[in-house]
């Protein structure tokens, strides 16, 4: 059965709440956007540090322009997006400007694992697991 997640069609991006489970099964909620142009999922170093997934980080200076500054990788025990979970997902650790108001970018590495349909006219994302294919 597919999952349906709604979003605001008036916003400039598709904003979502996502969840990451720590090793002790504590769920941490993060504000994220779908970024179909990002090949890999990225998390803010500040958010990862706050949730206890990352130790203190040194200051990072962004280059000019709106971009993230990827500088590491981390494996998250479990991430939940649109009602789907993936265990041990490797994500980039990035520095985000606080003014962006997000903690993560959900990239194609996550989306490729599911059948995803984005209907902007209705403001909903329909997602389902991919069917089992035999060769």
CA 55 to chain centre: 20
Q: Which CATH architecture has domain 3-129?
A: Beta Barrel (2.40)
> Could you read off the pLDDT of 116-125 as tens digits, one per residue?
999 999 999 9
Q: From CA 23, how far away is CA 29, in angstroms rounded?
A: 15
Whats the size of the chain, residue-wise?
135
Cβ–Cβ under 8 Å, residues 13 and 124? no
Q: Cα(30)–Cα(86) distance, rounded to whole angstroms?
A: 16
CA distance 30 to 55: 18
pLDDT tens profile 75-97? 999 999 999 988 899 999 988 88
In this prediction, residue 95 carries a pLDDT of 85
Residue 19 has pLDDT above 90, yes or no: yes
Sequence-distant (6+) residues with CB within 8 A of 50 are none
């Amino acid at each position: 059965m597919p999952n349906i997640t709604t979003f605001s069609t008036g916003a400039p991006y598709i904003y979502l709440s996502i969840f990451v489970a720590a090793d002790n099964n504590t769920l941490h909620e993060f504000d994220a956007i779908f970024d179909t142009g990002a090949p890999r999922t990225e998390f803010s170093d500040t958010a990862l540090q706050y949730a206890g997934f990352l130790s203190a980080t040194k200051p990072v200076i962004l280059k000019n322009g709106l971009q993230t500054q990827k500088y590491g990788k981390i494996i998250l025990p479990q991430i939940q997006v649109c009602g789907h979970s993936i265990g041990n997902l490797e994500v980039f650790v990035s520095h985000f400007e606080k003014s962006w108001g997000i903690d993560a970018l959900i990239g194609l590495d996550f989306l490729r694992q599911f059948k995803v349909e984005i209907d902007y006219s209705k403001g909903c994302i329909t997602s389902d697991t991919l069917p089992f294919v035999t060769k």
